[in-house]
Amino acid sequence: MSRQVPLLILLLWALAALFGGPLSEAANRIELGRILAPPGWDGLLGFDDLGRPLLQRLIVGARGSFLVAFGVVGLSAGLGTLLGLVAGYRGGLVDLLLVRLIDLFLAFPGILLAIALAGIMGPGLENLIIALTVVGWVGYARLTRAQVLSLKQRDHVTAAVALGSRQGYILWHHLLPLLAAPLIVEATFGVAGMVIAEAGLSFLGLGIQPPTASWGSMIRDGAAYMLMAPHMVLAPGLAILLVVLSLNLLGDRLRDHLDIRLTARKRW
């Protein structure tokens, strides 16, 4: 895959999410004469079991996956980074409590916990973001804590402590900038994971609710018509595949670019 293709796919995803709102009415318009109609000039991706155009529904569904992915990653990264910074720097009982809490969350499959929380709180976009955030902060907290335990022994941090700098100043100005690179890479892969998680929960009926389009619910609706109308599953399935693959490729590229050792080796 060309280096520009993943960026183009992600740009199209973002544009569909940001500007696809006016298509909501067209995406929910039922035309009984076009039920399960295959792709053609009147519908580039075909129509579903209610005669709704899949192209418009795919564009509207991009909004839900985009909001959930970036909303969950933003909240999870913020919460996990804050907890990891404080626990890793302070150590002692605070660090011990965070480690035990992380172990507790890691002992239980995250997706099952998200399903349980979404089932308790009920379906919907807001509840879906909350449920995924509850299980998503753990990775960022563990990564931040591990980095802080190493970085807080650096000379510039020791010098800042000796000069009487406040703890918040040290965390914000001396430690957080050094954590930015690994956190950005982790967040990139996290967005890809949240796209899959949103689709999975919507497939189970615990995410975005009809008639609002969602890639996961589109696959669920098309599963019963795989032999008669495979385009109902192929269209959203390929959309998820391309977006997740592009995010993973972008994450790999960012990791290589931000790796100082690899960059120095290339220069030599």
131 is written with which tokens?
């449920």
Which own/partner pairs from 114-122 qualify as long-range (CB within 8 Å, at least 24 positions apart)?
A: 114/197, 114/201, 115/201, 115/204, 115/206, 118/201, 118/206, 118/207, 119/206
Average per-residue pLDDT in the chain? 87
- Cβ 13 vs Cβ 62: under 8 Å: yes
Regions of the chain with pLDDT less than 70: 1-2, 259-268
- DSSP state string for 63-104: HHHHHHHHHHHHHHHHHHHHHHHHHHHH-HHHHHHHHHHHHH
Residues 177, 114 contacting (CB under 8 angstroms): no
Cα separation values, 44 from 58, 77, 148, 180, Å:
11, 38, 51, 42
Confidence (pTM): 0.89
pLDDT of residue 193: 93
Residue closest to 249 by CA, chosen among 261, 241, 259, 237: 241
Q: For residue 68, what pLDDT is reported?
A: 94
Residue 214 near residue 65, CB atoms below 8 Å: yes
Model confidence pLDDT, tens digit, residues 204-263: 888 888 888 899 999 999 998 988 999 999 999 999 999 999 999 998 888 887 765 544
pLDDT of residue 75: 95
DSSP letters of 137-178?
Answer: HHHHHHHHHHHHHHHTTSHHHHHHHHTT--HHHHIIIIIHHH
The domains located in the chain, with CATH, are 4-267 (1.10.3720.10)
Q: What pLDDT, on a 0 to 100 scale, did the predictor assign at position 78?
A: 93
pLDDT of residue 161: 79
DSSP label at 23? Answer: G
Q: How far are the Cα atoms of 40, 125, 260 from residue 255, in angstroms, in the given order?
A: 41, 31, 10
